[in-house]
């Protein structure tokens, strides 16, 4: 009879990620005085790192493993516009990442072209995001996906114990600066949910009904050879419920909303302003009149390209000037 060993406590890992740090490939993980170029995602909800095998089946339906797919997901609770700007800037490139577990292991995704792991290649991760704010919710989610060689994953696991040397990271000085905003574990960094009111073409539409929300999501049209999305667009969607449904308001919607590119301005309970200007999105108004209901819903939809050539974007300005203003436009077409 084969004897099976009992549970070995040291081999059972505590299922908690204590830190997720993301930095551009030209920067070190360690913070440099007066220049914070790594983003610690700080206070958060759930996060996870998923590894899956990929391969080809033979005639006997057996998988011949030849690569590893990795996914990273996290939801940030310090979700102000300054943090949104951080992830927008980081999403314009593939980044380094260091994920620390509760028991002190560090899973490090780096540029390994210097021969750290065979075969040479890049294990840098793409950063995608989805920001939603509404009367009942506020969420900033980040996600990443890529594929790597089996040997690269083995190198990542083999070096999981190494912290002090930050094995494999690149960069020794913060140049050029990304101007990221420091994010640590800070309860004051939490921003409450709630949309307060909105105006269209300068005319106030009053308060917003419960259930209204707007979502900004980075999108990709293609992937590279490692199945990393190439984020270059922001998809805007949402729905605003209009409480002012008098004839004058209905007439204004019919005359203007669906026929022009008027600017829409939304305010939040945090004193923030979200502006959709210069035809950034299209609008559709749906009115329902019935027993117990007189309601108009304004649907918002559009896709806005990144302005990757500008270090301080004007085409997609999500807080560069102030941390309480978010501006989206289609200036790239002008």
Can you give 205-241 as a three-state secondary structure string? EEEECCCCEEEEEEEEEEECCCCCEEEEEEEEEEEEE
In a domain, residue 53? The reply is yes
Query: Is the domain of 207 the same as that of 316?
Result: yes
Least Cα distance to 185 among 36, 28, 18, 27 occurs for: 18
Query: Is the domain of 132 the same as that of 220?
Result: no
Averaged pLDDT for residues 194-212? 85
Residue with more model confidence, 309 or 241: 241
Q: Which of 183, 204, 232 is at the close of a domain?
A: 183
pLDDT (0 to 100) of residue 69: 94
- Using 50, 70 and 90 to split pLDDT, how confident is the model at 10? low
Query: Is the domain of 303 the same as that of 243?
Result: yes
In a domain, residue 5? The reply is no
Query: Is the domain of 206 the same as that of 319?
Result: yes
Determine the structural domain holding residue 327 and report its residue range: 194-334
Cβ atoms within 10 Å, residue 154: 14
Query: Is the domain of 209 the same as that of 315?
Result: yes
Query: Is the domain of 239 the same as that of 328?
Result: yes
Cα distance between residue 267 and residue 285, in whole Å? 20
pLDDT (0 to 100) of residue 223: 92
Q: Is the pLDDT of residue 309 over 80?
A: no
Q: Is the pLDDT of residue 89 over 70?
A: yes
Q: Is the pLDDT of residue 334 over 50?
A: no
- Specify the DSSP element, H or E, that contains 146: strand 138-148
Beta strand ranges found along the chain (DSSP E): 17-23, 38-40, 44-57, 63-76, 96-101, 106-109, 128-134, 138-148, 195-200, 203-207, 213-223, 229-242, 264-268, 273-276, 282-290, 293-305, 316-317, 325-328
Q: Copy the structure tokens of residue 66.
A: 């030849």
Indicate the SS3 state at residue 88: helix
Q: Report pLDDT digits (tens) over 218-267.
A: 999 999 989 999 998 999 999 988 887 777 777 766 666 666 777 889 99
In a domain, residue 26? The reply is yes
- Using 50, 70 and 90 to split pLDDT, how confident is the model at 320? low
- Using 50, 70 and 90 to split pLDDT, how confident is the model at 146? very high
Query: Is the domain of 316 the same as that of 261?
Result: yes
pLDDT (0 to 100) of residue 314: 55
Averaged pLDDT for residues 166-184? 68
Cis peptide before 312 (omega within 30 of 0): no
- Using 50, 70 and 90 to split pLDDT, how confident is the model at 18? confident
pLDDT (0 to 100) of residue 14: 63
- Using 50, 70 and 90 to split pLDDT, how confident is the model at 36? low
DSSP one-letter code for 253: I
Query: Is the domain of 143 the same as that of 244?
Result: no
Number of domains in the chain: 2
- Using 50, 70 and 90 to split pLDDT, how confident is the model at 173? low
Least Cα distance to 264 among 287, 239, 234 occurs for: 239
CATH number at residue 150: 2.30.110
Query: Is the domain of 201 the same as that of 168?
Result: no
Q: Copy the structure tokens of residue 103.
A: 């028991």
In a domain, residue 2? The reply is no
**Max Cα–Cα distance, the chain, nearest Å:** 86
Cα distance between residue 136 and residue 329, in whole Å? 26
- Using 50, 70 and 90 to split pLDDT, how confident is the model at 286? confident
Q: Which of 158, 183, 208 is at the close of a domain?
A: 183
Q: Is the pLDDT of residue 189 over 80?
A: yes
Query: Is the domain of 112 the same as that of 50?
Result: yes
Q: CA–CA distance from 318 to each of 32, 84, 155, 276 (Å)?
A: 25, 7, 37, 11
Q: Is the pLDDT of residue 278 over 90?
A: no
- Using 50, 70 and 90 to split pLDDT, how confident is the model at 312? low
Cα distance between residue 126 and residue 167, in whole Å? 20
Cis peptide before 176 (omega within 30 of 0): yes
Query: Is the domain of 45 the same as that of 116?
Result: yes
Sequence-distant (≥ 6) Cβ neighbours of residue 328 within 8 angstroms: 216, 234, 236, 274, 275, 276, 277, 280, 281, 304, 316, 317, 318
In a domain, residue 108? The reply is yes
Q: Report pLDDT digits (tens) over 99-127.
A: 888 888 888 888 766 556 655 667 889 99
Antiparallel, parallel or unpaired: β 316-317 and 325-328: antiparallel
- What percent of the chain shows pLDDT beyond 70? 79
Name the average pLDDT for the chain: 81
Query: Is the domain of 287 the same as that of 208?
Result: yes
Q: Which of 183, 209, 228 is at the close of a domain?
A: 183
41-78 core/surface letters (b: 16 or more CB in 10 A; e: else): bbbbeebebeeeeeeeeeeeeeeeeebbbbebebbbbb
Cα distance between residue 18 and residue 45, in whole Å? 11
Averaged pLDDT for residues 303-311? 70
- Say if CB 14 and CB 103 are below 8 A apart: yes
Residue with more model confidence, 126 or 297: 126
């Amino acid at each position: 009879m084969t004897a099976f060993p009992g549970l070995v406590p040291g081999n059972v890992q505590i299922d908690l990620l204590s830190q997720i740090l993301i930095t551009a490939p030209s920067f070190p993980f360690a913070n440099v005085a007066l220049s914070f170029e790594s983003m610690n995602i700080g206070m958060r909800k759930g996060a996870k790192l998923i590894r899956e095998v990929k391969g080809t089946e033979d005639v006997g339906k057996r998988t011949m493993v030849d690569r590893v797919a990795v996914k990273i997901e996290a939801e940030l609770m310090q979700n102000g516009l300054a943090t949104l700007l951080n992830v927008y800037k980081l999403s314009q490139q593939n980044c380094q990442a260091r994920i620390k577990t509760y028991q002190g292991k560090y899973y490090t995704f780096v540029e390994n072209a210097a021969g750290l792991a065979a075969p040479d290649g890049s294990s840098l991760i793409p950063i995608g995001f989805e920001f939603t704010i509404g009367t009942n919710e506020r969420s900033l989610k980040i996600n990443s996906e890529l594929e790597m060689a089996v040997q690269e994953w083995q190198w990542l696991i083999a070096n999981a114990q190494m912290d002090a040397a930050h094995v494999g990271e690149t960069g020794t000085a913060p140049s050029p600066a990304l101007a990221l905003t420091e994010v640590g574990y800070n309860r004051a960094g939490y921003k409450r949910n709630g949309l307060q009111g909105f105006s269209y073409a300068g005319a106030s539409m009053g308060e917003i009904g419960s259930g209204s929300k707007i979502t900004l999501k980075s999108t990709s049209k293609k992937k590279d050879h490692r199945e990393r999305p190439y984020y270059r667009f922001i998809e805007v969607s949402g729905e605003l419920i209009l409480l002012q449904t008098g004839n004058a308001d209905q007439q204004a919607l019919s005359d203007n909303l669906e026929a022009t590119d008027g600017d829409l301005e939304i305010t939040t309970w945090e004193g923030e302003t979200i502006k959709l200007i210069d035809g950034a999105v299209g609008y559709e108004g749906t009115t329902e009149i019935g027993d117990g209901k007189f309601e108009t819903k304004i649907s918002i939809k559009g896709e806005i390209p990144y302005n990757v050539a500008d270090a301080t974007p004007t085409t997609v300005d999500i807080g560069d000037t102030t941390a309480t203003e978010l501006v989206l436009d289609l200036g790239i077409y002008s």
